[in-house]
Structure 1
Amino acid sequence: MRKLLLTAMLAAGVGSAHADFSIPGYELVLTTPVETALANPDLRDAAAVWSELFDNARHDIAIGQFYAVVREGSAFEKVFERLEAAGKRGVKIRFLLDKKGVGLSEAPTIERLKAIPNLELRILDFNQLTGNGIIHAKYLVVDHAAAYVGSQNFDWRSFTHIHETGLRITDGKVVKQIQAIFDQDWNAQARLARGLRATEIGTASASANYAPDAFLMASPYAYNPPGVADSERGLPALLEEAQSEVRVQLLDYAPLSYGPKGTRPYYPVVDNALRAAAQRGVKIKLMVSNWNTEAPAIAYLKSLALLPNVEIRVVTLPKASDGFIPFARVIHSKTMSIDGKLAWVGTSNWAGGYFDLSRNLEVVLRSEKMAQRVAALHQQLWDSPYAAPLDVNKNYPKPSKGKEE
């Protein structure tokens, strides 16, 4: 019955010319990789939503991203042109990039950003704040009135060749909190640039309210503005609530962090919570990308898959018709639905370094309508020809990420 309901929801938008799926204050947004059978007519794509946000900007735009890559002729270049147009008409633009992400960015893109009138670009070394972190969040705020949080990087591939999910947000309280996070990190960059310490402002106990119908979680909690919940403690708390089913979609999952010289320290926080839910009878349906089949993560995935009540599927998207594209053709969405009642949409993969050391954002919505739509999106990919059950007896080949093997 549940599967029939999810299938019906997927089909609901077919035939409608323009039917944005939303609840008050939140619109669900999807990037469908081209040349895949994953269309969702009731969900607008990020290119349209970002263009609209930039076109509607009147005073200021704040953007936080890990890196930046634009390609001429791509769908994302059209979005970038709307940002350029906003700057040219006098909108103040503040763009915050991570220092490590500069190495992943392309010089022509950085120069093109710098050339936009009224745009100020700052590079934050988030590593200085936490010892081994980055700005991994992908978000923007327009006129302190609308925001976007999702898995899309500021990268042409994220708008054409990668499965990405996000939320357009007009809920004033949450928009204000996202703006406060940007301002916190913007000011931290200024302090670090002057050789000063960035002040820790958050405490885990002060950000432990996971009860509202709609709220923002972020990491690391030491740099969360007042009222923003702590992601590292919040995600396990939400999993503790699960009674029947948890559906999760991620790029990768591993109870491991990232240490010096390529080490992968153990990080059990999320894994413990997921295993505890399975042990008490909650059905776990975890879907990850084929990039997650590398060692050592694959060993932990196989271990998890052996548990009763846990199903894991690996998604492999077909190569583009025009050839191999590095760091593309993959599922990158980070979503969760719990019991068809709670939706979680954010920027974190489920591994160490994301919830404790890096800047990430997640939006939690206690809305059956949104939770069931997120679950239906999960079901579509789960049942697609691109998803296959994890085989605990298979030796998976090294996935092709940056170059074709």
Structure 2
Amino acid sequence: MRKISLCALLHVLLLFINCYCEVVEDNCSMQLVESIPENLTFSPGSPTHLSTYNAWRYLIESARATIDIGSFYWTLRGTPANQDPTDCEGESIFRALMDVGSSEKVKVRIVQSEPSSEFPNNDTAALAASGAAQVRSLNLERLVGGGVLHTKFWIVDSKHFYIGSANFDWRSLTQVKEMGIMALDCSCLAGQLSKAFEMYWSVALPNATIPSAWPPAVDTQFNVHSPLCLQINETSSLATFGIDPPEFVARGWSSDLDVILHVIDSATTQINVAVMDYFPTTLYDDPNTYWPIIDDALRRAAFNRGVRVRLLASRWNHTFPDMFNYLRSLAALNGTTNENHAVHVEAGLFTVPSYTERQAKIPFGRVNHNKYMVTDNAAYVGTSNWSGDYFIDTGGVGLVVNQTGTASDDLIQEQLLAVFNRDWNSAFTTIL
């Protein structure tokens, strides 16, 4: 008789306890999607994945009825003051959206953060003016007292979606390092993400207010304590979304912060984080305040449970210098001991070099913009940087996937771990 490991048995029990949706998506597929900046080359044999550009093109070409997009800002097209030979992929996505939206066969809706001089809306204004898209702007400053809509996702025909770090910016396709997930034929998960879109859409009007209670249409039964049970890449999986800020946490939802904390607290052997900014404070308040919620969770995992923690932040032209101090403070735990185990905490900085003068002059380019975490039992991909502002008054979503029931290199978390190890061990990373 074949023996079943305790880990596998616990996973099966978890599936039965936590799954409240019949597994109907036998063909649900999910894959990692990356943007690798021009000329950034890893060693031979390093993992590679579908490009963000090709994923977005595929979603547009797959659309038969609807495309719903949640976004921060739009600069897919180059401008006379900001042009580059590599902006052609952004131009291509813009033209494809214009074409599909103008066909009258596909309804395109876009919700974006309130435009400003720093983050204009020229692209979406053109799409709206041509009739290719309905566009609404969400003013979180007015609604919740601060922040922006920082989310980045696509939902196509209520069954396909993309979520990740890539903004609707040509640089996010060719000059910025991004990580995301594209899912196909995942109607249950896409349905939950659609509820996030509908919340944004409903209050992205001049006189709208946050309701005292969100309508039942945006409620969900899926959260970190009762995730959706489904087949992803022919593997039994658990998955759900989280949403922030707190005012958007409708009935049944987990906040994005709670999803992150749950993933950290559930890790048993390792936690690997890749995020552009890491601060146990707020960044954009006046004055800023101390906000150690995630930092404390990482320290507890390392010190109390002996979990190996690695955190990879980004160094570029716009890095806040104080981040180095916070990373060193976290890494200072490394090598200490607690009873029967050593404490392993490391922090590193990933730098995207500029190989030409042209690349060096690209504003807000050449940066590792990733926002993900992978542990021994879960993969998390989000849209927020890790400082207090992003969870207090900024709009963001995050997806967590757990596939621990099967040992396979095809699992999303194994693929994401391979990407993290590729970056961590590359010549572009400096360990503090």
Same fold (TM over 0.5): yes
Which piece of structure 1 moves more, 267-276 or 169-178?
169-178
1:137 to 151, 170, 174: 151
Corresponding residue for residue 56 of structure 1: 62
The correspondence for 2:322, drawn from 287, 296, 321, is: 296
2:359 to 323, 344, 348: 323
Who is 1:270 aligned against?
294
Q: Give the deviation of 1:41 after TM superposition.
A: 6.5
1:179 and 1:203 mapped to 2: Cα distance?
A: 11
SS at match of 1:354: helix
Give the superposition deviation at 1:208. 5.2
Alignment partners' CA distance in 2, 1:196 and 1:318 = 44
Partner of 1:378: 420
In 2 relative to 1, CA 203–305 (structure 1 residues): closer, same or farther, beyond 3 Å? farther
- Structure 2 residue ranges without an equivalent (≥5): 1-26, 79-86, 229-237, 335-343, 405-410
Mapping 1:4-19, distance limit 5 Å: none
User: Which residue matches 1:184?
Assistant: 199
Between the aligned partners of 1:200 and 1:307, the Cα distance in structure 2 is 43
From the CA coordinates, give the structure whose radius of gyration is larger. 2
What is aligned with 2:108? Answer: 93
Distance in 2, matches of 1:200 and 1:320, equals 52
Over aligned residue pairs, what C-alpha RMSD do you find?
2.4
Give, in whole Å, the separation in 2 of the partners of 1:58 and 1:131. 38
The 8 Å contact of residues 204 and 221 in structure 1, kept in 2 or not, is answered as no
Within 5 A, what are the aligned runs for 1:251-270?
A: 251-261=276-286, 263-270=287-294
Distance 2:309 2:302 in 1: 6
* Alpha-carbon offset, residue 226 of structure 1: 4.0
Which runs of 5 or more structure 1 residues have no equivalent in the other structure?
A: 1-22, 391-405
Shift of 1:197: 4.7
* Aligned twin of 2:408: none
SS in 2 for 1:264: coil
Partner in structure 1 of residue 32 of structure 2? 28
User: Does structure 1 residue 194 correspond to structure 2 residue 218?
Assistant: no
Distance 1:211 1:64, change over 3 A: closer
Q: What is the CA-CA distance between 1:229 and the residue it aligns to? A: 2.0
* Distance in 2, Cα, partners of 1:113 & 1:139: 18
Give the residue type in structure 2 aligned to 1:28.
L
Q: Which 4+ residue blocks in structure 1 deviate beyond 6 angstroms?
A: 202-206
What is residue 373 of structure 2 aligned with on the other side? Answer: 336
Q: CA distance change for structure 1 residues 113 and 77 in 2, over 3 Å: closer, same or farther?
A: same
Query: 1:17 maps to what in 2?
Result: none
Structure-2 change in CA distance of 1:216 and 1:108 (3 Å)? closer
CA distance 1:275–1:124, change in 2 (3 Å): same
Corresponding pairs, count = 363
Task: Give yes or no for the alignment of 1:82 onto 2:96.
Answer: yes
CA shift in 2, pair 1:198/1:102, >3 Å: farther
Cα distance change, pair 320–110 in 1 and its aligned pair in 2 (3 A): farther
2:308 aligns with one of 275, 278, 283: 283
